[in-house]
Chains A and B, each alone.
Chain A
Amino acid sequence: MSASAYAVLAEGVVKRYKGRKEKGGGKRALDGFDLAVRPGTVHGLLGPNGAGKTTAVRVLATLLRYDAGRAEVAGIDVAREPRRVRSRIGLTGQYAAVDEGLTGRQNLEMFGRLFHLGNRRARQRAGELLDRFDLTEAADKAAKEYSGGMRRRLDLASSMILQPDVLFLDEPTTGLDPRGRGEVWEAVRALVAGGTTVLLTTQYLDEADRLASHITVIDRGRAIADDTPDALKNRVGGDRIEVVAADPGDLEAVAWAVDRVAGGGLVVTDTPARRVHAQVADRVAALTEVARSLQGDGIAVEDIGLRRPSLDDVFLRLTGHGTTENHDAPEVAA
């Protein structure tokens, strides 16, 4: 067994889908994908739809065989010893993969037995997990009667039966209401505090910002950036000033006012939104200056403010498109 400083390691992983075209046959879903996740952290894997996030997770969780490269989870080679990997990981996918016809308790006991805990230990473990995920009251109700958040918590609990070294969370909050998302976030934080490493894919960049200490951006099957959220934001640049004009006719005058503080930088005018924005070096001075000159010219403003770059900006800059757009969508000006 090779000792590894990483909980998850992928080097040059290639995955080609065989089979029918409508399922993406022949396409390289992963095209030399690299990933290194440090133990005990939440690592976000972000990318546009079709970039290869889910394929990467399925390869690492032993559900898909890959064609080239190397992948290790918990120091174990994924291709050579998938069964050993399986006893070290948990997987929570886009659907809450629980048996809806069984109660929460019956689900956990069944999965416990299938993890080879034995009847008595499986029963005991189910009790512990129900308690920990705040499901004790609903333990003997059928899972189909659970709310979305409860079901996802039961799903998480099922992934935690063996206290896995690595937990794969593939869009764990897609389709949940804000309350359900909050419940899942809380559960994930508790797991990481207990020492589990989490690889998280998500469409919600604010979710990655809240949970992940490290982020890899994937596009067209390759990792195109890999850093902490703050470092990624700094890469995009400093603060921005943003002005929304009350009258579309004033947009040009607003753009002139912003241009004076932009220091020669790009001034972007978003006509439909009546918004002008630009990067600025000295945030407070720029805000004061623009406000004063607009007031002096008698231009009415609906909103004026400063904005830190968000992960959305990072995303647009790196991939040239938003999270939900396809590759063939026209480029968005950033």
Chain B
Amino acid sequence: MTTLERNPATTGVRRPGNGSDPGPGPDRGHRHAYWAVVDCWNITRRTLTHYQRQPAAILWQLGFPILSLLLYGYVFGSAMMVPGGGDYREFLMPGMFAMTMAMGFMNTAVAVVTDASKGVVDRFRSMPMVPSAFASGRGAADLVVSAAELTILAVTALLIGWRADGGLMGALGAFGLLLLLRFSLIWVGVWLGLLVPTPEAAGGLYAVAFPLTMISSTFVSPSLMPDWLGFVAAWNPISSTATATRELFGNPVAGGGTWVEEHAVLMAVVWPLVITLVFLPLAVRRFQRLSR
């Protein structure tokens, strides 16, 4: 390798001996784990810097849920009936939280496909960083942003009269379940982001995602829908999270008495685990297939 020696005056940087060049042999053990965490944090930081530069982006993402809050809460709100009694706006808010988390997979997918189509993913893959950091950093940043979104939505909801009567533990549990749903959908987003060719194509996913989130207990109790539709809506993972958070916040639940509605908290844990178990390996496989 003597042929690759160069004039020291022009050498801007000495290669750090701290893991960029892992040395001969396979990378292994705690050193790999250390860089997996550091690289993940650097990718997380990158996404958070985007929001720091353009804080309005977060409000832009929240435009739809906030608009829905106001539309459904005030325009349709008084005409809406909650089976079993209770205020419609109290019923609606947890549904909106769950829907916002559910639609969050679109943000992940669009961010990933943008990186992939602009060559940023290739650049990362040609660098000595830990490959998993691309997805783990993306996911960590998305969770932080989602927590911020939930906070803004909750404050908005409090301002227009929503109240959580389930106590502090209930509220924390509810927010935990909401973020768990969002976590599981990160992998759906990464998978789709690596599957579709362009950001424009990813935008088209809204057409599919929107009805999927509507056929749930977000806006209306499934017990008010035609039987078959109500069945689908009740088994929708978003419904489980929405119903579970209604219980935990102490808001009207309006359940139809089916098994899945009676065990909403359990299902709000099971569904995200199932989604993660299916889509995390799919996303990893998709990422690995980039080199085939």
Measured CB to CB, the residues of A under 8 A from B are 1, 3-5, 7, 17-19, 39-40, 61-65, 74-75, 81, 83-84, 86-91, 93-103, 106, 110-111, 113-118, 121, 125, 128-129, 132, 142, 158, 160-163, 165, 193-195
Contacts and interface: CB of A to CB of B under 8 A. Distances in A.
Given A5-B3, A75-B4, A87 B122 contact: no
Contact of B126 (A61, A99, A193): A61
A84 B226 CA distance: 61
Ordered nearest first, which 10 A-B pairs have the shortest CB separation? A195-B6, A97-B119, A95-B119, A194-B10, A97-B123, A87-B128, A86-B128, A91-B126, A116-B20, A87-B21
Nearest to B129: A114
Nearest to B120: A97
Nearest to A91: B126
B167 interface: no
B258 interface: no
Contact of A117 (B16, B21, B53): B16
12 contacts: A4-B3, A39-B4, A63-B122, A81-B24, A83-B27, A84-B23, A96-B119, A99-B46, A111-B127, A115-B129, A116-B35, A195-B6
A165 B127 CA distance: 14
Interface of B: 1-4, 6-7, 10-13, 15-16, 18-24, 27, 35, 38-39, 42-43, 45-46, 49-50, 53-54, 117-120, 122-129, 133, 289-292
B279 to A, nearest CB: 20
Nearest to B23: A84
Contacts of B122: 63, 91, 93, 97
A125 B22 contact: no
B89 to A, nearest CB: 36
A184 B128 CA distance: 25
Nearest to A90: B126
Q: Classify the secondary structure of A's interface with B.
A: loop
A162 B119 CA distance: 19
A20 B20 CA distance: 35
Contacts of B22: 83-84
Contacts of B16: 115-118, 121
Given A74-B1, A132-B12, A163-B13, 14 more contacts: A19-B289, A39-B3, A62-B126, A84-B23, A84-B24, A91-B122, A93-B122, A99-B120, A102-B50, A116-B16, A116-B20, A194-B6, A194-B10, A195-B7
A137 B3 CA distance: 37
A158 B227 CA distance: 58
Contacts, number: 142
B53 A101 contact: yes
A115 B128 contact: yes
Contact of A102 (B10, B20, B35, B53): B53
A93 B124 CA distance: 12
Contacts of A113: 42
B39 A114 contact: yes
A307 to B, nearest CB: 38
Nearest to B130: A83
Given A64-B291, A64-B292, A74-B4, A84 B21 contact: yes
A98 B126 contact: no
A95 B128 contact: no
A114 B127 contact: yes
A86 B35 contact: no
A111 B7 CA distance: 24
B118 A63 contact: no
A18 to B, nearest CB: 5
A40 to B, nearest CB: 8
Given A97-B119, A110-B46, A116-B20, A63 B291 contact: yes
A129 B13 CA distance: 11
Contact of A142 (B53, B120, B292): B53
B284 to A, nearest CB: 16
Nearest to B126: A91
A87 B1 CA distance: 15
B136 to A, nearest CB: 13
Contacts of B125: 62-63
A122 B131 CA distance: 20
A125 B13 CA distance: 8
A144 B60 CA distance: 19
Given A61-B126, A91-B126, A98 B120 contact: yes
A89 B126 contact: yes
Contacts of B7: 194-195
Nearest to B41: A113
A161 B122 CA distance: 16
Nearest to A64: B291
Contact of A65 (B11, B126, B291): B291
